[in-house]
Amino acid sequence: VPTKQTAVSAYYQKLARNQEENDLLSMQNLQPWWTGFMARAQDRRLNELRTCVKIRRCFQILLDEKNGLLRRISQRCLWPDFNTVTQRSELVREVLFLNDTILSMRLIRVKLVLLRCEVCDNPSPAKMTSPNSAPTPFTNPSSPKIQKWESLGLTLIHEFISEEEEEVMIGAFHSVYGENTSFSGRKRLSQHFGYHFDYTTFGASETNFTPAPEYIQEFLPRLPVQEYLPDQFTIQYYPPGAGIPPHVDTHSMFGEALYSLSFGSAVPMAFRKCTTNDARRMRLPKRSLTNNPTTSQTKDATPAETAESEETWELLLPRRSLLLMTGPSRYGYTHGIKSRKTDIIDGETVSREGRYSITMRTIRRGAEIGCNCDFPGVCDQRIREEQAAAERTDE
Ligand SMILES: O=C(O)CCC(=O)C(=O)O
Ligand SMILES: [Fe+2]
């Protein structure tokens, strides 16, 4: 069993071996690089340092051996146990100090290396419990918070809301329940705003309307699709271990852009391309998104269904991130959250914590109701048309 010290030094040596020459900044370009980095840090990086579970991978500073203080920071960043809140806030203070020091150029021959954080910053998503890795997203270096899977119509925006906004939302969610309410059951808890989601039609209620609260109104101007904005909001609380069965949100009733804002904690969302089995299931009488066993979650998996589960890949939705589904990910893939108490994230078993989400949709009304997507097999509109045609030929 390697000791902590040898583990640390092996880790350090491995990192050092992996450094590319151009990661090491010379003194000439250090200052502009650092200024740029700090500008982003105000917005994002220091935030990550405070909250990121992978903090030791976020930030590594290789130092001139002459500078004892900075070497100390470096070692601390690399320490594998470096993940307590106190240590993080200490690091934040030291990074700010380092900033002053660098800007005043009191250092000689400093080498800085910024490592990507697996969760917050890595172009390839975290490896999840599901054996299949999520496809690799595209990240434009000028907007590092945004990951895009163009061919799936999928976008994940990290740090879409601030910690302050997150706190307000969690407080507001709980404020409507009585003191004796237990939040630890197995079931999701839901609150509805705008036109309420109707669990019998999988569309929106015509009459049941609650205005969206201010904390929702505030972020609407920041949504990536501004041509039309959501008017149906479902806030859900998932106690640790709770999930939602794989499903495709009703095509005909809602606009193409579907959003899921995650807060409270991260959770993996499972995606799977729809197959003829899904098409068959959607033609069966009842479907349900409640926690009862559903047609999409049969108890004894058939061989075909087992094969399907092998096609599933999971994408970690970090807290405060916004997921946007359009195109194939909206119309031709199921999405869901597996019910389980722990997830495997990058090889580490992580206990689930309570997670909240705001699902946002835009209701189609009158002549807008309908769909002509590229996935007729799993399109409720096409299924209705098929069934109407079948009835006419029966007559
Ligand atoms: O909680 C989530 O992120 C997704 C919920 C969802 O897919 C739905 O309510 O249709
Ligand atoms: Fe959904």
Q: Give yes or no for residue 168 having a pLDDT over 80.
A: yes
Q: In this structure, which residue's CA is closest to atom 1 in ligand 1?
A: 357
Interval 65-92: pLDDT, tens: 333 333 333 333 333 333 333 344 454 5
- Angular region, 200: left φ>0, alpha ψ -120 to 50, beta rest: alpha
- Report d(CA 382, CA 360) in Å as an integer: 24
Q: In what order do the strands lie in the sheet with 146-149?
A: 146-149, 154-157, 322-325, 258-263, 355-361, 232-238, 189-198, 203-210
- pLDDT band of residue 39 (cuts 50, 70, 90) is low
- 269 C-alpha to ligand 2 centroid (Å): 10
Q: Give yes or no for residue 121 having a pLDDT over 50.
A: no
**Best CA proximity match to 166, nearest among 351, 343, 345, 318:** 318
Residues of the chain within CATH 2.60.120.590 domain(s) are 146-385
Task: Enumerate residues with CB within 5 Å of ligand 2 (an ion).
Answer: 249
Fold of 146-385: Jelly Rolls (2.60.120)
- 263 C-alpha to ligand 1 centroid (Å): 13
Interval 85-114: pLDDT, tens: 334 445 455 555 555 554 443 333 233 333
- pLDDT band of residue 348 (cuts 50, 70, 90) is confident
- pLDDT band of residue 375 (cuts 50, 70, 90) is very high
- 248 C-alpha to ligand 2 centroid (Å): 6
- Report d(CA 54, CA 88) in Å as an integer: 11
Q: Give yes or no for residue 314 having a pLDDT over 90.
A: yes
**Whole-number pLDDT of residue 98:** 54
- Give the number of the ligand closest to the Cα of residue 237: 1
The torsion angles phi and psi of 169, rounded to 5 degrees, stand at -65, -40
Q: In this structure, which residue's CA is closest to atom 9 in ligand 1?
A: 359
Interval 136-156: pLDDT, tens: 888 877 787 889 999 999 999
- 336 C-alpha to ligand 2 centroid (Å): 7
3-state secondary structure of 144: coil
Q: Using the atom order of ligand 1, give the atom closest to the CA of residue 336.
A: 7
- Tell me the best of 261, 337, 338 to mutate to test the pocket of ligand 1, counting ligand atoms within 8 Å of each CB and taking the most: 337
**Best CA proximity match to 107, nearest among 79, 73, 82, 78:** 73
- Give the number of the ligand closest to the Cα of residue 266: 1
* Two tokens, residue 355: 């997670």
Residue 86 burial (10 A CB sphere; 0-12, 13-18, 19+): exposed
**Whole-number pLDDT of residue 385:** 93
- 342 C-alpha to ligand 2 centroid (Å): 22
**Whole-number pLDDT of residue 394:** 78
Q: Give yes or no for residue 1 having a pLDDT over 70.
A: no
Percent residues over pLDDT 70 in the chain = 62
Percent residues over pLDDT 90 in the chain = 40
Q: Using the atom order of ligand 1, give the atom closest to the CA of residue 262.
A: 3
Interval 223-280: pLDDT, tens: 999 999 999 999 999 999 999 999 999 999 999 999 999 999 999 999 999 999 889 9
Strands (DSSP E) contained in 264-347 are: 267-273, 313-317, 322-325, 333-337, 342-345
Interval 294-303: pLDDT, tens: 333 333 456 6
- Report d(CA 20, CA 215) in Å as an integer: 44
Q: Is this complex scored with an ipTM above 0.90?
A: yes
